[in-house]
Structure 1
Amino acid sequence: MSGHSKWATIKRDKAANDSKKSQVFTKLTRAITVAAKKGSDPESNSTLRLAIDKAKEARMPRDNVERAIQKGSGGGEGAQYEEVIYEGYGPEGVAFYIHVLTDNRNRTVSEIRGLFNRYGGSLGSAGSTAYIFSDLQNPAFDIEVRDAAKAKSILALAEALEDLDDVSEVFTNVKVPDELLNSLC
Protein backbone atom coordinates (compact mmCIF):
# COMPACT_ATOMS: atom_id res chain seq x y z
CA MET A 1 0.00 0.00 0.00
CA SER A 2 1.64 3.17 -1.17
CA GLY A 3 -0.45 5.73 0.67
CA HIS A 4 1.02 8.68 -1.16
CA SER A 5 1.62 7.65 -4.76
CA LYS A 6 -1.43 7.33 -6.95
CA TRP A 7 0.63 5.67 -9.70
CA ALA A 8 1.83 2.92 -7.34
CA THR A 9 -1.77 2.09 -6.48
CA ILE A 10 -2.82 2.10 -10.15
CA LYS A 11 0.19 -0.04 -11.10
CA ARG A 12 -0.64 -2.63 -8.45
CA ASP A 13 -4.31 -2.80 -9.48
CA LYS A 14 -3.39 -2.97 -13.17
CA ALA A 15 -0.92 -5.81 -12.55
CA ALA A 16 -3.58 -7.82 -10.71
CA ASN A 17 -6.16 -7.25 -13.47
CA ASP A 18 -3.64 -8.05 -16.22
CA SER A 19 -2.73 -11.30 -14.48
CA LYS A 20 -6.37 -12.41 -14.30
CA LYS A 21 -6.97 -11.41 -17.92
CA SER A 22 -3.85 -13.28 -19.03
CA GLN A 23 -5.07 -16.47 -17.34
CA VAL A 24 -8.44 -16.21 -19.09
CA PHE A 25 -6.81 -15.49 -22.47
CA THR A 26 -4.50 -18.50 -22.08
CA LYS A 27 -7.44 -20.84 -21.48
CA LEU A 28 -9.38 -19.35 -24.39
CA THR A 29 -6.36 -19.63 -26.71
CA ARG A 30 -6.02 -23.31 -25.88
CA ALA A 31 -9.73 -23.90 -26.49
CA ILE A 32 -9.56 -22.15 -29.87
CA THR A 33 -6.40 -24.04 -30.87
CA VAL A 34 -7.92 -27.43 -30.10
CA ALA A 35 -11.22 -26.53 -31.78
CA ALA A 36 -9.39 -25.33 -34.91
CA LYS A 37 -7.89 -28.81 -35.35
CA LYS A 38 -11.36 -29.98 -36.43
CA GLY A 39 -11.56 -27.24 -39.06
CA SER A 40 -10.52 -23.61 -39.26
CA ASP A 41 -13.86 -22.32 -40.57
CA PRO A 42 -16.13 -21.14 -37.73
CA GLU A 43 -19.19 -21.51 -39.97
CA SER A 44 -18.73 -25.27 -40.29
CA ASN A 45 -17.07 -25.89 -36.90
CA SER A 46 -19.50 -25.14 -34.06
CA THR A 47 -16.89 -25.84 -31.36
CA LEU A 48 -14.61 -23.21 -32.87
CA ARG A 49 -17.50 -20.78 -33.20
CA LEU A 50 -18.36 -21.19 -29.49
CA ALA A 51 -14.71 -20.74 -28.49
CA ILE A 52 -14.47 -17.56 -30.59
CA ASP A 53 -17.70 -16.24 -29.05
CA LYS A 54 -16.29 -16.82 -25.55
CA ALA A 55 -13.11 -15.00 -26.60
CA LYS A 56 -15.16 -12.04 -27.84
CA GLU A 57 -17.06 -11.93 -24.54
CA ALA A 58 -13.73 -11.77 -22.70
CA ARG A 59 -12.60 -9.00 -25.09
CA MET A 60 -9.67 -11.04 -26.39
CA PRO A 61 -7.78 -9.25 -29.21
CA ARG A 62 -8.60 -10.43 -32.74
CA ASP A 63 -4.90 -11.06 -33.50
CA ASN A 64 -4.71 -13.55 -30.63
CA VAL A 65 -7.82 -15.35 -31.89
CA GLU A 66 -6.48 -15.55 -35.46
CA ARG A 67 -3.08 -16.75 -34.24
CA ALA A 68 -4.75 -19.49 -32.18
CA ILE A 69 -6.83 -20.61 -35.18
CA GLN A 70 -3.74 -20.68 -37.39
CA LYS A 71 -1.82 -22.65 -34.77
CA GLY A 72 -4.62 -25.19 -34.42
CA SER A 73 -5.01 -25.69 -38.14
CA GLY A 74 -1.31 -26.51 -38.47
CA GLY A 75 0.07 -23.18 -39.64
CA GLY A 76 1.52 -21.87 -36.40
CA GLU A 77 4.53 -22.79 -34.34
CA GLY A 78 4.70 -23.78 -30.71
CA ALA A 79 3.20 -26.41 -28.48
CA GLN A 80 0.43 -28.63 -29.78
CA TYR A 81 -2.46 -28.96 -27.35
CA GLU A 82 -4.63 -32.00 -26.94
CA GLU A 83 -7.96 -32.57 -25.23
CA VAL A 84 -7.87 -34.99 -22.31
CA ILE A 85 -10.56 -36.03 -19.82
CA TYR A 86 -9.58 -36.95 -16.28
CA GLU A 87 -11.97 -38.51 -13.80
CA GLY A 88 -11.74 -39.05 -10.09
CA TYR A 89 -13.41 -39.12 -6.72
CA GLY A 90 -13.07 -36.48 -4.01
CA PRO A 91 -13.98 -36.59 -0.33
CA GLU A 92 -17.31 -38.31 0.47
CA GLY A 93 -17.20 -40.16 -2.87
CA VAL A 94 -18.05 -37.04 -4.87
CA ALA A 95 -17.33 -37.60 -8.57
CA PHE A 96 -15.20 -35.18 -10.60
CA TYR A 97 -15.09 -34.99 -14.40
CA ILE A 98 -12.26 -32.73 -15.56
CA HIS A 99 -11.86 -31.42 -19.11
CA VAL A 100 -8.23 -30.49 -19.86
CA LEU A 101 -6.37 -28.87 -22.76
CA THR A 102 -2.68 -29.63 -22.32
CA ASP A 103 0.61 -29.69 -24.14
CA ASN A 104 2.12 -32.13 -21.62
CA ARG A 105 -0.06 -34.98 -20.32
CA ASN A 106 2.48 -36.15 -17.74
CA ARG A 107 2.76 -32.76 -16.05
CA THR A 108 -0.99 -32.26 -16.02
CA VAL A 109 -1.87 -35.69 -14.61
CA SER A 110 0.79 -35.22 -11.94
CA GLU A 111 -0.69 -31.85 -10.91
CA ILE A 112 -4.24 -33.23 -10.84
CA ARG A 113 -3.23 -36.37 -8.92
CA GLY A 114 -1.39 -34.19 -6.39
CA LEU A 115 -4.51 -32.07 -5.80
CA PHE A 116 -6.70 -35.14 -5.36
CA ASN A 117 -4.23 -36.56 -2.84
CA ARG A 118 -3.98 -33.25 -0.96
CA TYR A 119 -7.75 -32.96 -0.55
CA GLY A 120 -8.46 -36.61 0.28
CA GLY A 121 -9.56 -37.89 -3.10
CA SER A 122 -8.20 -40.17 -5.79
CA LEU A 123 -7.72 -39.92 -9.52
CA GLY A 124 -9.75 -42.61 -11.25
CA SER A 125 -9.25 -44.53 -14.46
CA ALA A 126 -10.89 -43.57 -17.74
CA GLY A 127 -14.63 -44.16 -17.56
CA SER A 128 -14.81 -44.36 -13.77
CA THR A 129 -17.19 -41.39 -13.50
CA ALA A 130 -18.29 -40.95 -17.12
CA TYR A 131 -21.59 -42.76 -16.51
CA ILE A 132 -22.53 -40.11 -13.95
CA PHE A 133 -21.80 -37.28 -16.39
CA SER A 134 -23.45 -38.48 -19.60
CA ASP A 135 -25.20 -35.09 -19.45
CA LEU A 136 -22.50 -32.79 -18.08
CA GLN A 137 -24.85 -30.15 -16.70
CA ASN A 138 -27.15 -32.68 -15.00
CA PRO A 139 -25.30 -35.56 -13.33
CA ALA A 140 -27.12 -38.90 -13.02
CA PHE A 141 -27.28 -38.39 -9.25
CA ASP A 142 -26.11 -35.84 -6.69
CA ILE A 143 -24.33 -36.39 -3.41
CA GLU A 144 -25.59 -34.01 -0.75
CA VAL A 145 -23.00 -32.91 1.80
CA ARG A 146 -24.22 -31.42 5.08
CA ASP A 147 -20.94 -31.41 7.05
CA ALA A 148 -19.23 -28.00 6.79
CA ALA A 149 -15.66 -29.34 6.95
CA LYS A 150 -16.26 -31.91 4.21
CA ALA A 151 -18.12 -29.41 2.03
CA LYS A 152 -15.26 -26.95 2.44
CA SER A 153 -12.74 -29.64 1.41
CA ILE A 154 -14.77 -30.61 -1.68
CA LEU A 155 -15.24 -27.00 -2.76
CA ALA A 156 -11.54 -26.28 -2.17
CA LEU A 157 -10.61 -29.24 -4.41
CA ALA A 158 -12.95 -28.02 -7.17
CA GLU A 159 -11.53 -24.50 -6.94
CA ALA A 160 -7.92 -25.76 -6.93
CA LEU A 161 -8.63 -27.86 -10.03
CA GLU A 162 -10.20 -24.89 -11.83
CA ASP A 163 -7.16 -22.75 -10.98
CA LEU A 164 -4.80 -25.07 -12.88
CA ASP A 165 -3.78 -23.51 -16.20
CA ASP A 166 -4.49 -26.61 -18.27
CA VAL A 167 -7.96 -27.28 -16.83
CA SER A 168 -10.77 -25.77 -18.86
CA GLU A 169 -13.85 -27.20 -17.08
CA VAL A 170 -14.60 -29.12 -13.90
CA PHE A 171 -17.89 -30.95 -13.33
CA THR A 172 -18.94 -32.51 -10.05
CA ASN A 173 -22.05 -34.10 -8.58
CA VAL A 174 -21.84 -32.49 -5.15
CA LYS A 175 -24.88 -30.70 -3.76
CA VAL A 176 -24.28 -28.32 -0.87
CA PRO A 177 -27.38 -26.80 0.79
CA ASP A 178 -27.63 -23.02 0.35
CA GLU A 179 -27.55 -22.27 4.08
CA LEU A 180 -24.31 -24.27 4.46
CA LEU A 181 -22.84 -22.66 1.35
CA ASN A 182 -23.63 -19.18 2.70
CA SER A 183 -22.01 -20.00 6.04
CA LEU A 184 -18.81 -21.11 4.26
CA CYS A 185 -18.46 -17.87 2.29
Structure 2
Amino acid sequence: MAGHSRWHNIKNKKAKADAIKGRMFTKVIREITIAARLGGGDPEANPRLRMAIEKAKEVNMPMENVERAIKRGTGELEGVNYEEVQYEGYGPGGVAIVVEATTDNRNRTTAEIRHIFSKYGGNLGSSGCVSFLFEDKGIINVPKDKYSEDEIFEKAIEAGAEDVIMDDPEYYEIRTASSELYKVRENLEKMGVEIAKAELTKIPTTTVQITDEETATKLMKLLDALEDNDDVQKVYANFDIPESILEKLEG
Protein backbone atom coordinates (compact mmCIF):
# COMPACT_ATOMS: atom_id res chain seq x y z
CA MET A 1 0.00 0.00 0.00
CA ALA A 2 1.28 3.47 -0.84
CA GLY A 3 2.68 5.25 2.17
CA HIS A 4 0.51 8.32 1.78
CA SER A 5 -2.64 6.19 1.87
CA ARG A 6 -1.54 4.25 4.93
CA TRP A 7 -0.54 7.48 6.65
CA HIS A 8 -4.01 8.91 6.09
CA ASN A 9 -5.51 5.75 7.60
CA ILE A 10 -3.31 6.27 10.67
CA LYS A 11 -4.35 9.94 10.81
CA ASN A 12 -8.04 9.00 10.60
CA LYS A 13 -7.65 6.97 13.81
CA LYS A 14 -5.84 9.89 15.45
CA ALA A 15 -8.62 12.25 14.34
CA LYS A 16 -11.08 10.55 16.69
CA ALA A 17 -8.95 11.55 19.66
CA ASP A 18 -8.41 15.02 18.23
CA ALA A 19 -12.17 15.54 17.97
CA ILE A 20 -12.50 15.08 21.73
CA LYS A 21 -10.00 17.90 22.20
CA GLY A 22 -11.86 20.17 19.81
CA ARG A 23 -9.16 20.21 17.13
CA MET A 24 -11.39 18.70 14.47
CA PHE A 25 -14.24 20.99 15.52
CA THR A 26 -12.13 24.00 14.58
CA LYS A 27 -11.28 22.61 11.17
CA VAL A 28 -14.85 21.54 10.36
CA ILE A 29 -16.36 24.85 11.51
CA ARG A 30 -14.02 26.73 9.18
CA GLU A 31 -14.95 24.46 6.27
CA ILE A 32 -18.67 24.96 6.96
CA THR A 33 -18.22 28.73 7.17
CA ILE A 34 -16.31 28.94 3.88
CA ALA A 35 -18.68 26.54 2.11
CA ALA A 36 -21.68 28.62 3.20
CA ARG A 37 -20.00 31.86 2.16
CA LEU A 38 -19.13 30.53 -1.30
CA GLY A 39 -22.25 28.53 -2.08
CA GLY A 40 -25.02 29.70 0.25
CA GLY A 41 -26.51 28.29 3.41
CA ASP A 42 -28.82 25.66 1.89
CA PRO A 43 -27.06 22.26 1.97
CA GLU A 44 -29.45 20.85 -0.62
CA ALA A 45 -28.24 23.44 -3.12
CA ASN A 46 -24.64 23.50 -1.88
CA PRO A 47 -22.90 20.07 -2.14
CA ARG A 48 -19.72 21.30 -0.46
CA LEU A 49 -21.71 22.51 2.54
CA ARG A 50 -23.64 19.24 2.65
CA MET A 51 -20.42 17.25 2.84
CA ALA A 52 -19.03 19.60 5.51
CA ILE A 53 -22.15 19.06 7.61
CA GLU A 54 -21.75 15.30 7.25
CA LYS A 55 -18.17 15.65 8.47
CA ALA A 56 -19.48 17.58 11.46
CA LYS A 57 -21.79 14.68 12.26
CA GLU A 58 -18.88 12.24 12.03
CA VAL A 59 -17.05 14.10 14.81
CA ASN A 60 -20.25 14.52 16.85
CA MET A 61 -20.40 18.28 16.56
CA PRO A 62 -23.56 19.79 18.10
CA MET A 63 -25.98 21.06 15.46
CA GLU A 64 -26.11 24.50 17.07
CA ASN A 65 -22.39 24.85 16.26
CA VAL A 66 -23.09 23.88 12.69
CA GLU A 67 -25.96 26.36 12.39
CA ARG A 68 -23.85 29.20 13.80
CA ALA A 69 -21.04 28.42 11.36
CA ILE A 70 -23.48 28.51 8.45
CA LYS A 71 -24.90 31.85 9.58
CA ARG A 72 -21.41 33.30 9.92
CA GLY A 73 -20.68 32.16 6.39
CA THR A 74 -23.83 33.71 4.96
CA GLY A 75 -23.35 36.93 6.94
CA GLU A 76 -26.34 36.46 9.25
CA LEU A 77 -23.96 36.49 12.21
CA GLU A 78 -20.74 38.42 12.66
CA GLY A 79 -17.60 36.35 12.67
CA VAL A 80 -14.05 35.89 11.46
CA ASN A 81 -13.49 36.14 7.73
CA TYR A 82 -11.49 33.10 6.65
CA GLU A 83 -9.70 32.66 3.33
CA GLU A 84 -8.33 29.51 1.72
CA VAL A 85 -4.59 29.30 1.09
CA GLN A 86 -2.30 26.59 -0.27
CA TYR A 87 1.35 25.96 0.61
CA GLU A 88 3.84 23.74 -1.19
CA GLY A 89 7.22 22.41 -0.21
CA TYR A 90 9.50 19.44 0.32
CA GLY A 91 9.93 17.14 3.29
CA PRO A 92 12.73 14.77 4.32
CA GLY A 93 13.80 12.49 1.49
CA GLY A 94 12.61 14.96 -1.13
CA VAL A 95 8.92 14.17 -0.56
CA ALA A 96 6.57 16.69 -2.18
CA ILE A 97 4.01 18.17 0.23
CA VAL A 98 0.90 20.28 -0.43
CA VAL A 99 -0.88 21.94 2.49
CA GLU A 100 -4.42 23.32 2.28
CA ALA A 101 -5.30 25.81 5.01
CA THR A 102 -7.93 28.33 6.05
CA THR A 103 -6.85 31.46 7.87
CA ASP A 104 -7.94 34.86 9.09
CA ASN A 105 -4.31 36.05 9.04
CA ARG A 106 -2.25 34.91 6.06
CA ASN A 107 1.01 36.34 7.43
CA ARG A 108 0.66 34.44 10.70
CA THR A 109 -0.21 31.18 9.01
CA THR A 110 2.61 31.46 6.48
CA ALA A 111 5.11 32.04 9.27
CA GLU A 112 3.79 29.05 11.23
CA ILE A 113 3.87 26.71 8.21
CA ARG A 114 7.37 27.85 7.27
CA HIS A 115 8.54 27.21 10.85
CA ILE A 116 7.06 23.69 10.86
CA PHE A 117 8.76 22.80 7.57
CA SER A 118 12.11 24.08 8.84
CA LYS A 119 11.83 22.47 12.29
CA TYR A 120 11.24 19.00 10.88
CA GLY A 121 13.75 18.94 8.05
CA GLY A 122 11.65 20.28 5.22
CA ASN A 123 11.58 23.41 3.08
CA LEU A 124 8.59 25.60 2.24
CA GLY A 125 8.70 26.37 -1.48
CA SER A 126 7.00 28.74 -3.87
CA SER A 127 3.52 28.37 -5.31
CA GLY A 128 3.44 25.69 -7.98
CA CYS A 129 6.72 24.04 -7.02
CA VAL A 130 5.14 20.61 -6.34
CA SER A 131 1.41 20.85 -7.09
CA PHE A 132 2.01 19.56 -10.62
CA LEU A 133 2.93 16.21 -9.04
CA PHE A 134 -0.68 15.73 -7.84
CA GLU A 135 -4.04 15.30 -9.55
CA ASP A 136 -7.26 16.67 -8.08
CA LYS A 137 -9.72 13.82 -7.60
CA GLY A 138 -12.81 12.87 -5.69
CA ILE A 139 -12.79 9.70 -3.60
CA ILE A 140 -15.74 7.80 -2.20
CA ASN A 141 -15.17 4.99 0.32
CA VAL A 142 -17.59 2.07 0.36
CA PRO A 143 -17.40 -0.81 2.89
CA LYS A 144 -15.99 -3.97 1.32
CA ASP A 145 -18.15 -6.28 3.41
CA LYS A 146 -21.30 -4.94 1.76
CA TYR A 147 -20.55 -5.58 -1.92
CA SER A 148 -18.56 -7.85 -4.21
CA GLU A 149 -15.82 -6.35 -6.40
CA ASP A 150 -17.85 -6.90 -9.56
CA GLU A 151 -20.99 -5.38 -8.03
CA ILE A 152 -19.33 -2.20 -6.75
CA PHE A 153 -17.32 -1.73 -9.96
CA GLU A 154 -20.48 -1.96 -12.06
CA LYS A 155 -22.36 0.48 -9.84
CA ALA A 156 -19.45 2.91 -9.70
CA ILE A 157 -19.02 3.07 -13.46
CA GLU A 158 -22.75 3.43 -13.95
CA ALA A 159 -22.72 6.32 -11.46
CA GLY A 160 -20.04 8.12 -13.49
CA ALA A 161 -16.86 7.19 -11.58
CA GLU A 162 -13.47 6.84 -13.24
CA ASP A 163 -12.11 3.82 -11.38
CA VAL A 164 -12.33 1.63 -8.29
CA ILE A 165 -9.20 0.95 -6.21
CA MET A 166 -9.22 -2.31 -4.24
CA ASP A 167 -6.03 -1.89 -2.14
CA ASP A 168 -7.55 -0.97 1.23
CA PRO A 169 -8.57 -3.99 3.37
CA GLU A 170 -11.80 -2.36 4.60
CA TYR A 171 -13.04 -0.05 1.85
CA TYR A 172 -13.38 0.19 -1.91
CA GLU A 173 -12.00 3.54 -3.04
CA ILE A 174 -14.13 4.91 -5.87
CA ARG A 175 -12.32 7.66 -7.75
CA THR A 176 -13.97 10.45 -9.69
CA ALA A 177 -13.02 13.64 -11.47
CA SER A 178 -13.00 16.37 -8.82
CA SER A 179 -15.85 18.18 -10.57
CA GLU A 180 -17.97 14.98 -10.57
CA LEU A 181 -17.63 13.93 -6.93
CA TYR A 182 -20.96 15.28 -5.72
CA LYS A 183 -22.85 13.96 -8.75
CA VAL A 184 -21.32 10.47 -8.50
CA ARG A 185 -22.04 10.34 -4.78
CA GLU A 186 -25.67 11.26 -5.33
CA ASN A 187 -25.99 8.64 -8.09
CA LEU A 188 -24.55 5.95 -5.81
CA GLU A 189 -26.88 6.97 -2.98
CA LYS A 190 -29.85 6.67 -5.34
CA MET A 191 -28.68 3.10 -6.08
CA GLY A 192 -28.74 2.38 -2.35
CA VAL A 193 -24.95 2.15 -2.00
CA GLU A 194 -23.71 2.67 1.56
CA ILE A 195 -21.04 5.40 1.61
CA ALA A 196 -18.55 5.63 4.47
CA LYS A 197 -16.82 8.82 3.34
CA ALA A 198 -16.59 11.12 0.33
CA GLU A 199 -14.13 13.96 -0.14
CA LEU A 200 -12.04 15.93 -2.57
CA THR A 201 -8.37 14.98 -2.49
CA LYS A 202 -5.08 15.12 -4.35
CA ILE A 203 -3.59 11.91 -5.72
CA PRO A 204 0.18 11.86 -6.39
CA THR A 205 1.13 11.01 -9.96
CA THR A 206 4.53 9.73 -8.80
CA THR A 207 5.90 8.71 -5.41
CA VAL A 208 9.22 8.97 -3.59
CA GLN A 209 10.46 5.74 -2.02
CA ILE A 210 11.47 6.14 1.64
CA THR A 211 13.53 3.11 2.62
CA ASP A 212 15.13 4.03 5.96
CA GLU A 213 13.41 4.42 9.30
CA GLU A 214 15.15 7.67 10.29
CA THR A 215 13.93 9.56 7.21
CA ALA A 216 10.47 8.03 7.59
CA THR A 217 10.31 9.13 11.22
CA LYS A 218 11.31 12.70 10.36
CA LEU A 219 8.73 12.80 7.57
CA MET A 220 5.94 11.56 9.82
CA LYS A 221 6.81 14.15 12.47
CA LEU A 222 6.60 16.88 9.84
CA LEU A 223 3.26 15.66 8.48
CA ASP A 224 1.84 15.28 11.99
CA ALA A 225 2.96 18.79 12.96
CA LEU A 226 1.36 20.26 9.84
CA GLU A 227 -1.94 18.49 10.42
CA ASP A 228 -1.95 19.51 14.09
CA ASN A 229 -1.86 23.19 13.13
CA ASP A 230 -5.33 24.69 13.63
CA ASP A 231 -5.22 26.52 10.29
CA VAL A 232 -4.40 23.39 8.26
CA GLN A 233 -7.30 21.53 6.69
CA LYS A 234 -5.54 18.85 4.63
CA VAL A 235 -2.01 17.67 3.90
CA TYR A 236 -0.93 15.66 0.85
CA ALA A 237 2.43 13.95 0.32
CA ASN A 238 3.82 11.74 -2.46
CA PHE A 239 5.72 9.02 -0.62
CA ASP A 240 5.82 5.25 -0.36
CA ILE A 241 7.24 3.42 2.65
CA PRO A 242 7.77 -0.35 3.12
CA GLU A 243 5.09 -1.99 5.23
CA SER A 244 7.64 -3.10 7.83
CA ILE A 245 8.66 0.50 8.56
CA LEU A 246 5.06 1.75 8.59
CA GLU A 247 4.15 -0.85 11.18
CA LYS A 248 6.93 0.40 13.47
CA LEU A 249 5.80 4.00 13.02
CA GLU A 250 2.17 3.10 13.63
CA GLY A 251 3.11 1.21 16.77
Please confirm whether the aligned pair reaches a TM-score higher than 0.5, indicating the same fold.
yes
The number of aligned residues is 169
- One-letter amino acid of the structure 1 residue matched with residue 96 of structure 2: A
CA distance in 1 between partners of 2:94 and 2:18 (Å): 37
Structure 1 counterpart of 2:227: 162
How big is the shift at 1:18? Answer: 9.0
Q: State the identity as a percent.
A: 50
AA matched with 2:133: I
Farther-moved stretch of structure 1 (151-160 vs 78-87): 78-87
Counterpart mapping for 1:1-185 below 5 A:
20-38=20-38, 39-135=40-136, 136-184=201-249, 185=251
Give the structure with the higher percent strand. Answer: 2
| Change over 3 Å in CA distance of 1:170–1:18 after alignment to 2 | closer
Change (3 A) 1:80 1:107: same
TM-score by length of 1: 0.86
Aligned to 1:3: none
Distance 1:138 1:94 in 2: 14
Higher relative CO (Cα under 8 Å, sequence separation at least 6) belongs to 2
Residue-by-residue CA offset, 1:141-167 (whole Å, 9 max, x unaligned): 010100110010011100000000010
Look up the SS of the partner of 2:131 in the other structure. coil
Measured in 2, the distance between the counterparts of 1:121 and 1:18 equals: 24
Q: Which amino acid aligns with 2:31?
A: A
Amino acid at match of 1:42: P
Amino acid at match of 2:231: D
Gap runs ≥5 in structure 1: 1-16
Structure 2: give runs of 5+ residues left out of the alignment.
1-16, 137-200
CA distance in structure 2 between the aligned counterparts of 1:153 and 1:34, rounded to whole angstroms: 33
